[in-house]
Amino acid sequence: MSHELAFSRFVLKVHERQLLDDGKPVTVGARAFDVLCALAVRAGELVSKSQLFEQVWPGLVVEENNLQVHVSTLRKLIGPDLIATVPGRGYRFTARVVQTGPQPADVPPTTPIASRSIAVLPFANLSGDPDQAYFSDGLAEDIISKLSRSSWLYVIARNSSFAWRKQQDDTARICRELGARYLVTGSVRRSGNTVRITTELVEGQTRETLWSQRYDRAMDDLFEVQNEISTSIVSAVEPVYLRREEYLTTQSEPGGREHWELLMRARWHFWRSTRDHVEKSREYLAQALAIKPDDPPSLALLSFTHMSRVWAGWSTDLRQDILEANRLALRAVRQDDTDPFAHFTLGTALSFTGNIPQAIAELEYSLTLYPHSAAAAGELGRLLAFAGRTAEAVEYVLQAADASPHDPHLSLWIRTRALACFIDGDYAQASRYALEAVTKRPDWFFNHYLLAACLAGGGQLEQARRSVERAQAFGPYPMAALRMGHPFVDEQHLERFTGCLRQAGWSG
């Protein structure tokens, strides 16, 4: 029997190369049909232009206009809202796809979209002035546009989610109809020259509020306010969404899982940060990559597990782990050179090679692709601090922390502020931020070492020694591992840092 994919009123018979519209055959050109198959099989995912060229025109040099023509043709046949353009990157198939026939073993299974998709509903206009609806609609549209640039999120098309303008109370029904798990909802109330915006991220079926926020702003510049608020919302939604997805996968029984579940389980273990958890993360990533060998997020996270070995001093072969981290990050970028998470990973991996300028450039490019990535902004701040550009470093980590105050990276960003103060010789402030980083993540041994160095720099040797003792309880921390995790561009900064640690009892 054929491999059949149903969406909207259509059925796509892949192996019979036939598209049915309410049961009636539709004439589709050969190349357009191949493009449709490539998008529908990966419904909900970003399919880059390079991937489409490789699949539809293998071995041929084809102008980008050819792809655009076929996408335009498909939109006329199946509707303009089912294929979303991700500017500068590729396309997403936005319809909910259901497999209606048995699937041959050689065809990879599709990911159930409803298990991970987000719909942004039109924000309610509570101002009492129908003319203000343009601002509330514009805000929701801006959020949709920005969320769609994330490597991790599948966002329901605007025309689909905006059909629920007057039915925002029945979240379970909306999620069922849209094929979404999560809803972003909100309201706008304008009074005089001020506006109050409330928003929340809700898990639709359970009606549980995962995150909520209120913003009060003066309406001096309408578009500036819209951009600022939408950016803040987007920066907050992604990490909350990912934490929820990670948690949900840990509640399921082990067994035959889809790629997404394996990837989320790998992320959950990775953020536990212990040696056993990181190795468990690698096991799940191996399973995920067996299903999708060229998946950039899986390759990138696997790269980070090699970096963790080096940072933590667990590596039995530093050179090999560094090479593998860079190889995997490069492979992720090559699979999709518009993936911001892949470039973020590559920038981080390059920091181990001593090529800090190139690492900084990769992180800057990651932020060009996805300006709302708090993780990339925070990592850019970290490397700028090690480069001695402390004022710039603080700007980026503040940007990251303001945008995503509950992010799992938060301790790292606070740590960067401590490092910047240490480099500048402000040991009192350095100790304050280092202590805050320790409080956030006491299970990260390198936070204790940083606190020890800052305290020793300020002459508080007894407290510094106690911090080193707490750090050493996690295991040895040789000089080679410390140097990799602290890529100071100025050798004098490294010497001062290690000198303070030795005063506190670190032997190196």
Tell me: pLDDT of 47 over 70: yes
Q: What is the pLDDT of residues 433-448, one digit of tens each?
A: 999 999 999 999 999 9
Q: Return d(Cα 144, Cα 154) in angstroms, integer.
A: 10
For the chain, which domains are there?
Answer: 4-99 (1.10.10.10), 113-237 (3.40.50.10610), 372-503 (1.25.40.10)
Judge whether residue 60 has pLDDT over 70.
Answer: no
Exposure b/e, 469-501, CB count within 10 A at least 16 = b: ebbbebeebeeebbbbbbbbeeeebbebbbebb
90-93 β-sheet, strand order: 46-48, 90-93, 83-86
Report the distance separating Cα 424 and Cα 420, nearest Å.
6
- What average pLDDT score do residues 158-169 get? 72
Q: Contact, 468 vs 456, CB < 8 A?
A: no
For range 380-390, the mean pLDDT: 97
The CA distance from 251 to 299, in Å, is: 24
Amino acid making up residue 17:
R
80/462 Cα distance (integer angstroms): 68
Between CA 415 and CA 356 the distance in angstroms is 19
Q: Which residues lie across from 200 on neighbouring strands?
A: 185, 212
Enter the pTM of the model. Answer: 0.72
Asked whether the beta carbons of 172 and 263 are under 8 A apart, the reply is: no
Nearest residue to 305 (alpha-carbon basis) of 341, 323, 289, 281: 281
Calculate the average pLDDT of the chain. Answer: 87
Burial track 435-454 (b if 16+ CB lie within 10 A, e otherwise):
bbbbebbeebbbbbbbbbbb
pLDDT at 106: 39
Residue 169 binned pLDDT confidence (cut-offs 50, 70, 90): low
210 Cβ neighbours under 8 A, 6+ residues apart: 182, 200, 201, 202, 203, 240, 241, 244
Asked whether the beta carbons of 209 and 201 are under 8 A apart, the reply is yes
Q: Considering the chain, what percentage of its residues have pLDDT values greater than 90?
A: 45
Which residue, among 285, 281, 284, has the nearest Cα to 270 in the 3D structure?
281
pLDDT band at 61 (very low <50, low <70, confident <90, very high): low
Question: Which pLDDT band holds residue 161 (cuts at 50, 70, 90)?
Answer: confident
For residue 367, give both structure tokens: 């932020």
CB-CB contact of 406 with 422 (8 Å): no
Q: What is the pLDDT of residues 274-308, one digit of tens each?
A: 899 999 999 999 999 998 898 999 999 999 999 99
pLDDT of residue 112: 43
Q: What is the pLDDT of residue 279?
A: 95
Is pLDDT above 60 for 247? yes
pLDDT band of 107, cuts 50, 70, 90:
very low
Distances (CA, A) of 447 to 299, 418, 442, 450: 27, 10, 7, 5
Q: Which residues contact 105 (CB under 8 A, 6 or more apart)?
A: none
User: How many residues can be counted in the chain?
Assistant: 508
Indicate if the pLDDT at residue 152 is higher than 80: yes
Q: Are 97 and 7 in contact (CB under 8 A)?
A: yes
Contact 266, 286 (CB under 8 A): no
Reduced to 3 states (helix: H, G, I; strand: E, B; else coil), residue 221 is coil
**Tokens 């490397």 belong to which residue?**
383
Scanning 47-179, the segments in alpha helix (DSSP H) are: 49-56, 64-78, 133-147, 158-161, 171-178
